[in-house]
Amino acid sequence: MQQDNSGSYRVRVYYEDIDLGGIVYHSKYLNFCERARSEIFFSKGKSPVDGEYHFVVKHIDADFIASGHFEELLEVRTEMTKKRRVSLLLTQSVYNTDDEVKLFEMRVQLVCMRGEKMAAIPAGMLDVFE
Amino acid sequence: MQQDNSGSYRVRVYYEDIDLGGIVYHSKYLNFCERARSEIFFSKGKSPVDGEYHFVVKHIDADFIASGHFEELLEVRTEMTKKRRVSLLLTQSVYNTDDEVKLFEMRVQLVCMRGEKMAAIPAGMLDVFE
Amino acid sequence: MQQDNSGSYRVRVYYEDIDLGGIVYHSKYLNFCERARSEIFFSKGKSPVDGEYHFVVKHIDADFIASGHFEELLEVRTEMTKKRRVSLLLTQSVYNTDDEVKLFEMRVQLVCMRGEKMAAIPAGMLDVFE
Amino acid sequence: MQQDNSGSYRVRVYYEDIDLGGIVYHSKYLNFCERARSEIFFSKGKSPVDGEYHFVVKHIDADFIASGHFEELLEVRTEMTKKRRVSLLLTQSVYNTDDEVKLFEMRVQLVCMRGEKMAAIPAGMLDVFE
């Protein structure tokens, strides 16, 4: 839940995150990254859902590098790499805070929606990532 | 996804359902039971969400009897035990289909809502459980 | 992730926790409570999984009192109500931190396992809840 | 749970799959695809976990094309596009069965592990995808 100014967010690995293999279930990293994106908004006193405006995930390109385990404290680091009129490109990485090993990295494209249509990102939502 | 007339529903245990202990994560049984309730509606050509009307879980009394494991095919059996004006009491049990061992049983109270207020269950939603 | 000495744990409601009804999916409260139990161990420098010893949920009696919503910061409060040789009875409640409204309360019975058999709770795991 | 010979698998969208936006939570498509891969094994009388051998997800490149909604019956279609000594490349697509609209497509690289080390895919696991 901790979100500092530099765009990092910490998440603990719990029972529910582990899969049959004893490691973090692969799609959970996408959840952790979404939580981190939401906390960036909250840390600025804003919300990722602003009236009719919100973001949807359009594309993900993800590398699963190493495994997370129960009890580990992970850190999600988020960086904006491209800003367009209706979309954002972010790079989000997940590290084990103990040994600074990178477990996961993804490039994610977010598209701004107004209701069910694509729309230009409102200024008030855009400056959150700066 | 299979739902026959007698109120039974089959669910496979996947990677995502297993927790650190190598067994089905405890709260997943509640998910399995909710899926089974939804399928009862679908099997009658109806939906658990009918306009403003829907059900919320109000109370659960649950026994975790034995453990489910990866690859097992489970069966959720649902029985209506009490019908009131605004609420239903169901008993839902989860069995391993291989050996007929009961893994889980809960008594669940559902309350009918119209928007954000409790409301009498519409006739068309009530007869689904008969 | 925050866990203070008095047994309270804070959890944010994210996109993934919300269901069709726009409120926290009912079984997620069990997840939040499990995370809180794990953090009680971590906060004492211990783990809920100690060699072959671990706990399983045996019984839950749960009241769903009010609804949690996106962005809300919830607090799980945990109290041990009964201590037996092989089992513990805890009461766990979930509050909205903004207005102190109680959303959820459950009585949960945990049973200590050594591998696949019930076992007396080791002293080092028992004093965690004191 | 239905898996036919041509590599298609059907999954219903339930309450738990929907997020704040009223649509299927983005990472759930990865779960649906993993279930489909597991069912391919089960449909051939095999398991994705064979002694020490199992697969891990190494890379995902995913397009989120359209939104899934509650009650919809989706179909996951799986095709093997490349077979290497230690890894497989699959393309998995998720369709709405009502209107044949494609909601999601991903290219996923799976790596075979023997315990914690990469290993050549055993013949008995490889022919499952043929």
Q: Residue range A79-99: average pLDDT?
A: 96
**Structural domain boundaries, residue D66:** 8-129
Strand partners, A73: A12
* Probe site for chain B from A12, A16, A18, A20 (most B CB atoms < 10 A): A20
Minimal C-alpha gap between C60 and chain D (Å)? 20
Positive or negative, the CA dihedral A31, A33, A34, A35 is positive
Q: Is residue D20 part of a domain?
A: yes
* Residue B2 in tokens: 């299979």
The ipTM of this complex is 0.94
In a domain, C3, yes or no: no
Q: Is the pLDDT of residue A5 over 70?
A: no
pLDDT computed for residue C20 by the predictor: 85
Q: Tell whether B3 is covered by a domain.
A: no
Catalytic residues of A: 19
Residue A22 inside a domain? The answer is yes
By C-alpha distance, the chain A residue nearest C73 is A1
Within 10 angstroms of residue A40's Cβ, the number of other Cβ atoms is: 21
| Interface of chain A toward chain D, CB-CB under 8 angstroms | 20-21, 26-28, 30-31, 34, 49, 54, 56-64, 67
* CB hemisphere CA count around D72 (13 angstroms): 24
**Domain-embedded: residue B2:** no
Residues of C at the A interface, defined by Cβ within 8 angstroms? 1-2, 10-12, 14-16, 31, 34-35, 38-39, 42, 47-49, 70-71, 73
Residue C1 lies in a domain: no
Q: How many domains, in total, are found in chain B? A: 1
Higher pLDDT, C36 or D127: C36
CA distance B34 to B30: 6
- Within 8 A of D27 by CB-CB distance, chain A residues are 27-28, 30-31, 34
Chain A hits for C1, CB-CB cut-off 8 Å, are 1-2, 10-12, 73
**Inside any domain, residue D3:** no
pLDDT of residue D1: 44
Whether B12 is in a domain gets the answer yes
Q: How many B/D residue pairs have CB atoms within 8 Å? A: 47
Give me the CATH number covering residue B86.
3.10.129.10
CB contact under 8 A, C18 and D15: no
Q: What is the pLDDT of residue C65?
A: 98
Banded pLDDT at A129 (limits 50, 70, 90): confident
What confidence score (pLDDT) does residue D6 get?
54
Distance CA C78, CA C93 (A): 7
Partner residue opposite C38 with nearest CB, options A1, A11, A14:
A14
What per-residue string of b and e applies to A12-24 under the rule 16 or more CB within 10 Å gives b? bbbbbbbbbbebb
pTM over 0.90: yes
Q: At residue B61, what are phi and psi to the nearest 5 degrees?
A: -125, 110
Is B19 part of the annotated catalytic residue set? yes
Containing D110, the helix (H) or strand (E) segment is strand D102-114
**For position D127, what pLDDT does the model report?**
86
Q: In a 3-state reduction of DSSP, which class is residue A69?
A: coil
**Digits of tens for pLDDT over chain D (130 positions)?**
444 445 799 999 999 999 988 899 999 999 999 999 999 999 999 999 998 999 999 999 999 999 999 999 999 999 999 999 999 999 999 999 999 999 999 999 999 999 999 999 999 898 898 7
Give the whole-number percent of chain C exceeding pLDDT 70: 95
Q: Is the pLDDT of residue A4 over 60?
A: no
**Joined tokens for residue C115:** 């591998």
